[in-house]
Amino acid sequence: MKQKKIKVTVAECGTNINIEKNLVLNILWPEKNEEIRHNSINNNALVFKLQYKEFSMLFTGDIEEETEKVLVNKYKNTNALNAKVLKVAHHGSKSSSTEEFLQQVRPKIALIGVGKNNTFGHPNEDVLERIKKYGVIYRTDENGEITLEVNKKGQVKIKKQL
């Protein structure tokens, strides 16, 4: 990267990456000095919000309840977690997508990346019920590849490809 003079940005909480006009990545987690020790690979996964005009999407990696609680407390009384689309954490496992977290995100669309007949039982039925209160769920095991197209006004269109 140095040889090719490629700009490197360290993605940590508080970093905003301007990709182009009206398109920003807001890094919400991990916090530089606040590592979660329990299941650290999952709980310290990158969490960021993609913002394009009126469209927003929250990417949550494989975070679990512990990280969700930290985020809920960190961003209470803000709209930082609120997003039209949520990439559901940890394939919809029972260790994620708490009611308190979903109350702050308030997704209209939830996307779950999960394999058919997986041995983990993902997504969890309780998680699905919690998410259904907020919006529509699309799952890769049922809908195949899911593509979102966002127009210049920030309106989203969903395409499914089995």
Where are the chain's structural domains?
16-161
The pair of three-digit structure tokens given for residue 18, joined into one six-digit string: 């301007």
3-state secondary structure of 51: strand
pLDDT tens column, 6-62: 988 778 899 999 999 999 999 999 988 887 778 787 888 999 999 999 999 999 999
* Nearest-5° Cα angle at 77, 50 to 101: 60
pLDDT value at position 17? 92
Whether domain 16-161 has CATH 3.50.50.60: the reply is no
